Amino acid sequence: MKKTKAIICTAVLSTVMAGAALADSIKPGIVYDFGGRNDRSFNEAAYRGAEQFKARTGVKFRDFEIQNPSQREQALRNFARRGLNPIITVGFAQAGALEKVAKEFPDTQFTIIDTVVDLPNVRSVVFKEQDGSYLVGMLAEMASKTGKVGFVGGMDVPLIRKFACGYKQGVKAANPDAEVFMNMTGTTGAAWTDPVKGGELALSQFARGADVVYHAAGGTGIGVLQAAADQGKLGIGVDSNQNHLHPGHILTSMVKGVDAAVDKTMTDAMNGAWTPGVLVLGLEGDGVYWALDEFNKDLITPEMKAAVDQARADIISGKIKVHDYMTDNSCPL
């Protein structure tokens, strides 16, 4: 008797919850990756997208910052169990956890950013980082006086190599004789939150003659940009527009439209237009772009702008092909 009661209760509850999910007030959830919500870079872009959505629609969202890898699955399952929908997971490292949890909750709409999870209830948003990095690589080389530029990556993973490879191609396109120094901060999650090491890596590249350095290192990158500003060199920001951090010392930022992607996913879910599948965002439609604003307009000469705009158009039209590191795990240069 008791058992049947419990089953009926659960059934009633789940219908109520399903009904709530169908109504226009959705309950979105976000799980951030290492680095956390306020990394001024990748995760923060996702947070900003959600805030935009909230400001426009008044719909509140819940979010969670993981502290260690075992929390990924817990957090996702917890969100799904509470009936949150859609659930957005930020970062490639969440793929394994998402794959498991998405199968357990087939009615929840999941979205993952930066990698592809092939399941009927998952939307995967990926970016053509190589194209954006190519453009900032060209800018870096044109702004460099020494012909030497640097790159500081966070964790040594294929995604970050993709940034590095695109950047290198852009640098070489602007000047085939240019030298590119490449460093990765580490091989664990801590590589995203180590500004001291980021700063030291940047300093060592400056010491070897580099005068522009591009980072793709989340929170570690704050140290890279700080070192560039302290040394009177130029830094290039990533993921979010970081030009305002050190006006006059940040050449540009390679912005990924993570905020737009998050905002769009939530809006789609609210309008019942959410679809699973892979969404590739590139230069077209500003899925990735290089940032030009009042903080860096004095650093970008008209010639630089013209050259980069031309390259951008050529990449979109297919005239320039930028190699994607992740297709074959190697870089032609």
Partner 1 sequence: MYETLILVLDSTVRLSTPLLFACLAGLYSERSGVVDIGLEGKMLGGAFAAGAAAYVSGSPWIGLAAAILVSCLLALIHGYASITQRGNQVVAGVAINFLAAGLTILLGQAWFGQGGRTPQLDKASRFSEVTLPFADSIQDVPYIGLLYSELISGHNALVYISFLAVPLTWWIIFRTRFGLRLRAVGESPAAVDTAGISVGWLRYRAVLICGILCGFSGTYLAIGQSAGFIKDMSAGKGFIALAALIFAKWKPVNAMYACLLFGFLDAVAIRMQGQEIPGIGEVPVQIFQALPYILTVVLLAGFVGRAIPPKASGIPYVKERT
41 lies in the site for partner 1, by CB under 8 A:
no
Which of 1, 23, 55, 207 contacts partner 1 by CB under 8 A?
207
311 lies in the site for partner 1, by CB under 8 A:
no
Which of 80, 160, 184, 281 contacts partner 1 by CB under 8 A?
184
Instruction: Write out the two tokens for 237.
Output: 């920001």
Burial of 196 (0-12, 13-18, 19+ CB in 10 A): exposed
Query: How far apart are CB 93 and partner 1 at their closest, in Å?
Result: 18
218 lies in the site for partner 1, by CB under 8 A:
no
Query: How far apart are CB 194 and partner 1 at their closest, in Å?
Result: 7
Are the CB atoms for 237 and 258 separated by under 8 Å?
no
Cα 261 from Cα 128, distance rounded (Å): 13
Question: Which amino acid is present at 319?
Answer: K
Burial of 51 (0-12, 13-18, 19+ CB in 10 A): middle
Contact region for partner 1 (CB under 8 A) — 4-12, 31-39, 119-127, 309-317? Answer: 31-39
189 lies in the site for partner 1, by CB under 8 A:
no
Which of 99, 179, 200, 324 contacts partner 1 by CB under 8 A?
200
Nearer to partner 1 (CB atom), residue 235 or residue 282: 235
Helices (H), ranges, 231-301: 258-270
Angle subtended at Cα 86 by Cα 16 and Cα 45, rounded to the nearest 5 degrees:
150
307 lies in the site for partner 1, by CB under 8 A:
no
Q: Using alpha carbons, select from 146, 155, 151, 156 the residue that is nearest to residue 168.
A: 151
94 lies in the site for partner 1, by CB under 8 A:
no
Are the CB atoms for 14 and 6 separated by under 8 Å?
no
Question: Which amino acid is present at 291?
Answer: A
Instruction: Write out the two tokens for 51.
Output: 């805030």
39 lies in the site for partner 1, by CB under 8 A:
yes
Nearer to partner 1 (CB atom), residue 123 or residue 249: 249
Nearer to partner 1 (CB atom), residue 70 or residue 301: 70
Query: How far apart are CB 71 and partner 1 at their closest, in Å?
Result: 15
260 lies in the site for partner 1, by CB under 8 A:
no
Cα 215 from Cα 66, distance rounded (Å): 23
Helices (H), ranges, 241-301: 258-270
Query: How far apart are CB 289 and partner 1 at their closest, in Å?
Result: 24
333 lies in the site for partner 1, by CB under 8 A:
no
Nearer to partner 1 (CB atom), residue 190 or residue 300: 190
Does residue 86 have a cis peptide bond before it, meaning omega lies within 30 degrees of 0?
Answer: yes
Cα 95 from Cα 116, distance rounded (Å): 8
Nearer to partner 1 (CB atom), residue 69 or residue 186: 186
Query: How far apart are CB 198 and partner 1 at their closest, in Å?
Result: 9
Nearer to partner 1 (CB atom), residue 83 or residue 223: 223
Cβ-based neighbours of 58, under 8 Å, separated by 6 or more: none
Nearer to partner 1 (CB atom), residue 124 or residue 226: 226
List beta partners, residue 85: 27
Binding site for partner 1 (CB under 8 A): 36-39, 65, 156, 181-184, 186-187, 190, 193-197, 199-201, 203-204, 207, 219, 222-223, 226, 245
